[in-house]
C-alpha cells in the first residue's frame, strides 16, 4: 500500500515538472460549424441603411399629399367654373370669381409640376431600391443559415404572434368604440337666413380703435348671464391685452364697464397677449391667437392664468394666411376662434392643406387640446370670415360695400361642403373684421370700423 502511494506521488511530481518545463498549455478546439461571415453582415447593414436613407416616409407623404390636393382642387375648380358661368351680373361678383379661378389654376399648375418632378424622382428611387432590396433579401437568407441556435427564427415567430395579438386587440377596440360625437345635431334645425341688423353701436370705443371683437359668453358663470364682453385692438390695430365686461346690452351701448375688466399682461404686445381680432369668450375664458405664434392661448378670467394649445407646425400665422377679398386682406386674421352650441372651434390654414381652411374642435381640458380636425377645400384667402353654428362651418365673401354673402358651409357630421348658400348680410360698414355666432341668443356678432353690429339667425 505504502509503495503504491509513493509511486503515485512520484508520477504526480513528474507531471508537474513536465508542465513547469513546457510552461504553457495548448487546447485545441475543433469547430464543426462554418465561420460566421461578419464581413457580409456588415455590408448588408451598410446597404440597408443607405437604402432607408433614400426611401423616407417624407417622400411617400409628399406624393400622397400632392395627389390628395389635386383630388380636392379639380372638382372645386369645376364647381367654381360653373358658378362663374351662371353669374350674369357682370359686376364685381364675376371679377371675384374669375380671380379665385385664376388663383386656383396657378396653384393647380404648380402642383402638377411638383407632382411631375416628384414622380420622376420616385421612379428612379423605386427601381434602384427594388433591386437593392432583392439583393439584401438573398444575402439575409444566406446569413440565416448561420443561425444554428434558431434565435432569429424564434424571434420572428414571436413577432408574428405579437402582431396577431395587436390585430386582435385593435379589432376589439374598434368594436367597442362609441360612434362619432354628432356636433352637427341641433334642436333648432337648419340655418336658413339672417335678419337685418338688430343692434348697431360703437359703444364707448374712441373712433381710432377700429378693430376688435365682442359678444356673450355661451357658458357664463351664474349671475353673469346677461353680460357682454369686448376686446379692442389698442396697439397698431393688431394687438390687445385687455378684456372689458358690461353687465347688459345698454351698458355696452353707453360704455359703462363693470369693474371686472381683465388685464392679460401690463405690456402690449408681449408673449401670450392677444394678436388679431378673432377672439371668443367661452366658459369664463378668452380664446385667441397668442402674440407672434401659431398657438391658441386661453386666458382664464377667474385665475388670471394662461394655458395654450399648439396648432400644427405648418399653420400660417403672423398675417400670412389672412381672410381676404379682391381689394384687401384683413391683417392678422390667420387664426379665427369661434363658438357654437358644442363649445370652441379654431379655424386656420396650413401648408399641408394648400392654404385651405382647416377646422379643429377645441376640447376644454387643462391644457385645452385639439381632438378632431377637418380639412376643407375652400381657399382661406378667398373668404372674408368664418363662424360655426350647430357643428357646421360657414364662410363669407365680399360682394360689395353693402353686401357680404354667407356662401359656403362644411358639415362636420357628414363632411358635405356647399359653395352656393346665397345668404346675404346687409352690412353697416364695408369690412367685417370679426364675425362670430352666439348660441345663447342665436345672434351673429360683427365688429367693423369701430362698430358692433348684430343679426338674428333664422333656423328652419
Ligand atoms: C414632366 O417633366 C418632363 C421632364 O422634366 C417634361 O419633359 C414633361 O413635359 C413634364 N410634364 C408635365 C406634364 O409637366
Ligand atoms: C374626442 O372626440 C371623441 C369623438 O368625438 C369623443 O368621444 C371624446 O370624448 C373626445 N375627447 C375629449 C378629450 O374630449
Ligand atoms: C332672407 O331674408 C331677407 C330679409 O331679411 C329676404 O329678403 C330674403 O329673401 C331671405 N332669403 C331667403 C332665402 O329666405
Ligand atoms: C379657471 O380657473 C378656475 C380657478 O382656478 C377653475 O376653477 C376653472 O376650471 C378654470 N377654467 C378653465 C376654463 O380652465
Query: Positive or negative CA dihedral for 58, 60, 63, 68?
Result: negative
* 207 shares a domain with 105: no
Report CA(198)–ligand 3 centroid distance (Å). Answer: 15
Q: Measuring from each residue's beta carbon to the nearest atom of ligand 2, which residues come in under 6 Å? A: 178, 180-181, 363, 371-372
User: Which among 399, 454, 457, 408 is positioned nearest to 431, based on CA atoms?
Assistant: 399
Atom of ligand 2 nearest to the CA of 178: 7
Q: Which ligand is nearest to the CA of 194?
A: 3
DSSP 8-state code for residue 382: G
pLDDT > 90? residue 78: no
Run of H or E including 72: helix 57-86
Rounded to two decimals, the pTM is: 0.64
* 232 shares a domain with 111: no
Q: Measuring from each residue's beta carbon to the nearest atom of ligand 3, which residues come in under 6 Å? A: 193, 195-196
Of 171 and 114, more confident = 114
Which cell numbers hold the place of 238? 393688431
* 422 shares a domain with 328: yes
Q: Which ligand is nearest to the CA of 371?
A: 2
Domain count, the chain: 2
Give the CA angle between residues 118, 321, 95 to the nearest 5°.
90
Residues 204 and 452 sit within 8 Å (Cβ to Cβ): no
Report CA(300)–ligand 4 centroid distance (Å). Answer: 6
CA 164/CA 176 separation, integer angstroms: 19
Run of H or E including 111: helix 92-144
Residue 135 lies in a domain: no
Atom of ligand 2 nearest to the CA of 181: 5
402: domain range? 191-459
> Which one of 95, 111, 127 terminates a domain?
127
* 117 shares a domain with 250: no
User: Which among 288, 281, 235 is positioned nearest to 261, based on CA atoms?
Assistant: 281
pLDDT of residue 155: 75
* 448 shares a domain with 311: yes
pLDDT of residue 346: 98
Of 50 and 372, more confident = 372
How would residue 124 be classed by pLDDT, with cut points 50, 70 and 90?
A: confident
Q: Among 181, 183, 345, name the best residue to mutate to test ligand 2's pocket (greatest count of ligand atoms within 8 A of Cβ).
A: 181
Of the listed ranges 185-199, 257-271, 303-317, 396-410, the one predicted with least confidence: 185-199
CA 82/CA 104 separation, integer angstroms: 14
> Which one of 83, 98, 127 terminates a domain?
127
How would residue 259 be classed by pLDDT, with cut points 50, 70 and 90?
A: confident
* 311 shares a domain with 397: yes
Query: Positive or negative CA dihedral for 240, 245, 248, 250?
Result: negative
* Residue reference for cell 361678383: 93
- Residue 200, beta-bridge partner list: 453
Q: Which ligand is nearest to the CA of 114?
A: 1
pLDDT of residue 175: 44
* 379 shares a domain with 277: yes
* 397 shares a domain with 301: yes
CA 41/CA 26 separation, integer angstroms: 32
* 331 shares a domain with 445: yes
pLDDT > 50? residue 157: yes
Residue 40 lies in a domain: no
Question: Is 300 touching ligand 4 by the criterion CB < 6 Å?
Answer: yes
Mean of the per-residue pLDDT values of the chain:
84
Q: Domain containing 351 — which CATH number?
A: 2.130.10
Residues 231 and 243 sit within 8 Å (Cβ to Cβ): yes
Residue 3 lies in a domain: no
Neighbours of 380 (CB within 10 A): 26
Please give the span between the terminal C-alpha atoms of the chain, in angstroms, as a whole number: 122
Spatial CB neighbours of 411, under 8 Å, sequence gap ≥ 6: 184, 391, 392, 417
* 119 shares a domain with 204: no
* 68 shares a domain with 207: no
Residues 330 and 337 sit within 8 Å (Cβ to Cβ): no
Which cell numbers hold the place of 11? 508520477
* 360 shares a domain with 248: yes
Neighbours of 106 (CB within 10 A): 10
Q: Quick one: how many helices (H) and strands (E) in the chain?
A: 6, 25
How would residue 2 be classed by pLDDT, with cut points 50, 70 and 90?
A: low
> Which one of 127, 155, 182 terminates a domain?
127
pLDDT > 80? residue 20: no
Amino acid at each position: 500500500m505504502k509503495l503504491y502511494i509513493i509511486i503515485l506521488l512520484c508520477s504526480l511530481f513528474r507531471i508537474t515538472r513536465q508542465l513547469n518545463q513546457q510552461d504553457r498549455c495548448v487546447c485545441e478546439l475543433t469547430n464543426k460549424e462554418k465561420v460566421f461571415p461578419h464581413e457580409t453582415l456588415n455590408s448588408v447593414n451598410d446597404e440597408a441603411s443607405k437604402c432607408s436613407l433614400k426611401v423616407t416616409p417624407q417622400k411617400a407623404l409628399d406624393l400622397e399629399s400632392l395627389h390628395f390636393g389635386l383630388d380636392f382642387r379639380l372638382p372645386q375648380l369645376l364647381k367654381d367654373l360653373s358658378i362663374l358661368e351662371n353669374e350674369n351680373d357682370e359686376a364685381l361678383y364675376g371679377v371675384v370669381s374669375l380671380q379665385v379661378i385664376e388663383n386656383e389654376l396657378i396653384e393647380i399648375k404648380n402642383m402638377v409640376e411638383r407632382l411631375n418632378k416628384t414622380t420622376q424622382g420616385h421612379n428612379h428611387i423605386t427601381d434602384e431600391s427594388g433591386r437593392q432590396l432583392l439583393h439584401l433579401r438573398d444575402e439575409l437568407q444566406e446569413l440565416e443559415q448561420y443561425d444554428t441556435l434558431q434565435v432569429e427564427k424564434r424571434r420572428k415567430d414571436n413577432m408574428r404572434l405579437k402582431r396577431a395579438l395587436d390585430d386582435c386587440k385593435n379589432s376589439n377596440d374598434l368594436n367597442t368604440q362609441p360612434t362619432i360625437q354628432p356636433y352637427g345635431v341641433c334642436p333648432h334645425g337648419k340655418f336658413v337666413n339672417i335678419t337685418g341688423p338688430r343692434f348697431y353701436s360703437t359703444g364707448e370705443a374712441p373712433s381710432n380703435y377700429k378693430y376688435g371683437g365682442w359678444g356673450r359668453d355661451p357658458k357664463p358663470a351664474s349671475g353673469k348671464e346677461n353680460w357682454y364682453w369686448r376686446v379692442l385692438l389698442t396697439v397698431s390695430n393688431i394687438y390687445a391685452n385687455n378684456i372689458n365686461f358690461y353687465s347688459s346690452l345698454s351698458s355696452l351701448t353707453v360704455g359703462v364697464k363693470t369693474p371686472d375688466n381683465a388685464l392679460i399682461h401690463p405690456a402690449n404686445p408681449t408673449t401670450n397677449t392677444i394678436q388679431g381680432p378673432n377672439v371668443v369668450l367661452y366658459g369664463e375664458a378668452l380664446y385667441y391667437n397668442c402674440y407672434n405664434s401659431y398657438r391658441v392661448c386661453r386666458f382664464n378670467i377667474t385665475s388670471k392664468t394662461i394655458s395654450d394649445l399648439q396648432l400644427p407646425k405648418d399653420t400660417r400665422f403672423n398675417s400670412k394666411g389672412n381672410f381676404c377679398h379682391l381689394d384687401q386682406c384683413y391683417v392678422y386674421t390667420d387664426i379665427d376662434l369661434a363658438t357654437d352650441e358644442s363649445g370652441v372651434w379654431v379655424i386656420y390654414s396650413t401648408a399641408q392643406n394648400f392654404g385651405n381652411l382647416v377646422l379643429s374642435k377645441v376640447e376644454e381640458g387643462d391644457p385645452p387640446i385639439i381632438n378632431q380636425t377637418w380639412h376643407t377645400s375652400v381657399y382661406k384667402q378667398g373668404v372674408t370670415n368664418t363662424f360655426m353654428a350647430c357643428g357646421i362651418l360657414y364662410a363669407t365673401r365680399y360682394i360689395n360695400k353693402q353686401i357680404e354673402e354667407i356662401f359656403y358651409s362644411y358639415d362636420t357630421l357628414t363632411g358635405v361642403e356647399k359653395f352656393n348658400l346665397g345668404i346675404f348680410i346687409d352690412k353697416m360698414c364695408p369690412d367685417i373684421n370679426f364675425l362670430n355666432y352666439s348660441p345663447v341668443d342665436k345672434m351673429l356678432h360683427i365688429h367693423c370700423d369701430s362698430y358692433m353690429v348684430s343679426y338674428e339667425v333664422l333656423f328652419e
